[in-house]
Amino acid sequence: MGEPERDPYTGRMTTGHEWNGINELATPVPKLVLIFLALTFISSLIIWILAPAWPSVNNYTKGILGIDQRTTLENSLEKADAITTPWRNEINSKEFTEILNNDDLMKTVRQHGARLFADNCAMCHGTDATGGYGYPSLVDDQWLWGGDPATIMETLRIGVNSGHSESRISQMMAYGRDGILTLDQRRTVGSYILSLTQGTNADDAKLKAGSEIFMQQCQSCHGSDGRGMRSVGAPNLTDDFWIYGGDPVAIDQTLREGRQGVMPFWDDRLSLADRKALTLYVLDLAETRK
Ligand code: HEC
Ligand code: HEC
């Protein structure tokens, strides 16, 4: 190691280190880099003071600006709400017929209704609301509980066999399992109800016997003409729409095991405006399918 000396080419001092005749210049860190380092440090100090920064065991330093991602999120949700609230307010404040006759509002209903339906209802009632095995079609004009807007909205609010304190109760009893009717009696009444829709080749005596069982066991819910009763959600047995199938095997199973369809309640899961929009959406779908 030699003495530091001035380098004749650059005019800078050397460090005195020397390798095989090559001297090391004492080049200082450029000022600009030092300034940046200082600025970085100062700005992190400022941010530590202003914004949430240092975690502790079960808390963190909050910073004097009170910035909070949760409040930021809430604010942006509020903004989104402000965009959608006008239609919700309008739908809340207007009568069903008024909305149905208002093309602009119905456009909104179709748009938001389709989204709400896809998110909440389609998994059971099908994407086109035509239902499927165990789930009634909502667009066939055959209503278990009633198809006027107020009734549909109430079905949405409280559900069916849903566990809601005001839930609608749908009870088709298990005539076989519970030993109320023998297999023979179930077949007899089964062929009677099929005769209501399809005509039949069963003999008169059998039909008469079936009709007697029907009057004793079934008419209190399905009506003496078999057309159902909305107060108990009993379906019309004289049309071509079957929730659980209308062939002898399916009817046999219905009579043997009973049926208790469950429709969830939406009381606390969808707002009033959303339930109203869905009601209108379903009615609109049914109308366009006619
Ligand atoms: C978990 C499945 C399921 C989901 C999800 C569901 N439903 Fe239902 N829904 C049913 C069943 C089952 C019934 C028939 C209940 C009965 O037996 O009375 C029903 C009945 C209904 C009825 C009454 C039909 C009538 O004929 O009176 C309406 C209206 C209805 N649903 C609309 C909706 C809407 C709108 C949604 C979405 C918010 C929805 N449902 C979500 C299963 C479901
Ligand atoms: C206490 C009322 C009640 C009585 C009594 C009753 N039912 Fe029902 N029945 C219902 C209800 C409610 C449903 C709908 C169940 C559901 O949607 O989950 C139903 C459904 C049915 C279905 C299925 C319809 C479909 O669309 O798939 C058949 C078939 C039927 N009942 C036949 C009968 C016969 C036959 C009797 C007499 C032996 C009878 N029911 C007695 C209430 C009743």
Which of 120, 129, 114, 131 shows the shortest CA–CA distance to 261?
131
Q: Which of 125, 142, 229 to mutate to test the pocket of ligand 1 (most atoms within 8 A of CB)?
A: 125
Neighbours of 192 (CB within 10 A): 23
Which tokens hold the place of 53?
A: 């920064």
Q: How confident is the prediction for the chain on average, in pLDDT? A: 92
User: What pLDDT is recorded for position 144?
Assistant: 96
**pLDDT, tens only, 225-244:** 999 999 999 999 999 889 99
Instruction: Determine which residue's CA is closest to atom 41 belonging to ligand 1.
Output: 121
- Residue 201 is predicted with a pLDDT of 67
Whole-number pLDDT of residue 22: 87
In 3D, which of 78, 73, 77, 53 has the Cα closest to residue 63?
Answer: 53
pTM (two decimals) = 0.78
Superfamily in which the 183-257 domain is placed by CATH:
Cytochrome c-like domain (1.10.760.10)
Instruction: Give the pocket of ligand 2 (CB within 6 Å).
Output: 170-173, 175, 189, 193, 217-218, 220-222, 232-235, 237, 242-244, 251, 254-255, 259-261
- Asked if 271 and 81 touch (Cβ cutoff 8 Å), the reply is no
Instruction: Using the predicted structure, report yes or no on whether residue 117 has a pLDDT greater than 90.
Output: yes
- Enumerate the domain spans of the chain: 1-67, 71-166+263-289, 183-257
Q: What is the CB-side half-sphere exposure of residue 186 using CA atoms within 13 A? A: 22
135, 172, 197, 237, best to mutate for ligand 2 pocket (most atoms within 8 Å of CB): 172
Centroid of ligand 1 to alpha carbon of 207 (angstroms): 34
Instruction: For residue 229, give the ligand nearest its CA.
Output: 2
Q: Is 42 in the pocket of ligand 1 (CB under 6 A)?
A: no
Question: Rounded to the nearest whole angstrom, what is the distance from the C-alpha of residue 1 to the centroid of ligand 2?
Answer: 105
* pLDDT range class, residue 288, cuts 50, 70, 90: confident
Ligand nearest to the CA of 250: 2
Q: Output the CA 235–ligand 2 centroid distance in Å.
A: 7
> Which architecture, in CATH terms, is 71-166+263-289?
Orthogonal Bundle (1.10)
Rounded to an integer, the average pLDDT of 18-29 is 86
Domains 71-166+263-289 and 183-257 equal at CATH topology level? yes
- CA 101–ligand 1 middle distance (angstroms): 26
**Would you say 4 and 13 are in contact if contact means Cβ atoms under 8 Å apart?**
yes
